[in-house]
Amino acid sequence: MKKYSLYFLFVSAFSLLFSCGSSNEKVAEVAANYELQIVDSVQVNLLSSGLSIADVNDQTGELLAIQPNPPVAYVLSPEGVVLKKMDRPTGDPQAVGDYILSGEFYEDGIALMGFMTVKTYDMDFNLRESMKPDFTHGGMVYMGFNHLFEIKGIDHNRLVAYMGPQTEFSDKNAEYYQDRKIMTLIDPYLAKEQSLTTESMDKEIYKPVGKLASDSRFVTSGKAFYFLKPELDVKGNFLYYAFKGDTTMYKVELPSGEIVGETKIPFDEFILFKGFSMGPIGLKEQRESGPSDKSGSIERVYKLGDFEVIVYSSGMKLSDIEALDRDSPDFRERLMKADPQKHLIIKNGLRMNDELRLPDKVSHFDMADNKGFLWAHQDISKLEEEPDLITFYKLKVVEVK
């Protein structure tokens, strides 16, 4: 299979994306007034770089926390006490490689994902199955995102992961947008079949699922969109996703990959990137493009009970960006303040929150559990001193009286 160059992106709450083009969405009216409220917190006594919560055990409330690099995984008690730890060196055959990209409590154990690698363990991090496909993908390798999920099955459970577009076509060609898949369905039980050839393993263990909707602007516009990435969540056997630069959220049944719902996202405003020309001319356009509008960007999609929560930035017109004075030493801070991260609480396609800014004390969100809670990082930017403990907040959608 044809292989493309890879790029790495470490995600932080302060990352910015500049693009060309614009399109404003009609301001949506608020159907009711709900908000995300902090209902609990967990403090963890660890010195860690980039620790995030990847999953919450539905039965025990234990937390699976991962540090991407150097790769370390922890099982924490509901109170934040370290119960188990895996910090095997990257060359260890039981490790997942140089980076831990995501993790999930899987059946009675744990699954961890590295670059094009998924491994399952018991609760003491003893290796059970190791799965590494013979394909790769073009695009970015994302750390700090929740990209691995368990789905129920009749005979056994499976995993679904974002492992790139899994297509032989380049995103500079129209065929890419017709062929690319959304997720990869992984069956660890088939990895035990020693009789399978490498080619058969790829086809049976790793199955690409989900396609772009036929009316998606990425299919119909005739334009190229480089490093197209879905922001996603999985609840039950349904995938909820929206692409970073799109205005539609989709609901997909798993494992079939069939689209069973579409929702127009009720942004207050959202500047739309219109894409590059197909083929080599698009690369030239990208290289030679000058200052332009800052496109809107969807950063996270979560399913919380009857609600969906979308974290995004609206983008800015070039004229407004220029007014901030690019040569100013605090230009970056001004830009972040002028185009902050916001969030929508959506129910039945309607916006349910009046306040769009992220909740106070929260810097960014990690994941949504199966009990209707959203887990987030403490915002330490306004604290006078670096805290000794890592604080995670537990939030819930509540109606404002």
Per-residue tens of pLDDT for the chain, all 401 residues: 333 333 344 443 333 333 333 334 444 566 679 999 999 999 999 988 789 999 999 999 999 999 998 999 999 999 999 999 999 988 898 999 999 999 999 999 999 999 888 999 999 999 999 888 766 665 666 777 889 999 998 888 999 999 888 788 999 999 999 999 999 999 998 877 654 455 556 667 888 899 999 999 999 999 999 988 999 999 999 999 999 999 999 999 999 999 999 999 999 999 999 999 999 999 899 888 888 999 999 999 999 999 999 999 999 999 999 999 888 899 999 999 999 999 999 999 999 999 999 999 999 999 999 999 999 999 998 888 888 899 999 999 999 97
Output the pTM of the full model: 0.88
For strands 374-378 and 6-10, give the pairing: unpaired
**Which pair of tokens denotes residue 277?**
């020309």
Integer Cα distance of 241 and 83 in angstroms: 33
HSE (CB half, 13 Å, CA atoms) of 95?
18
> 28: Cβ–Cβ under 8 A, 6 or more apart, which residues?
266, 267, 268, 350, 351
Q: Which secondary structure element, helix H or strand E, spans residue 195, and what is its range? A: none
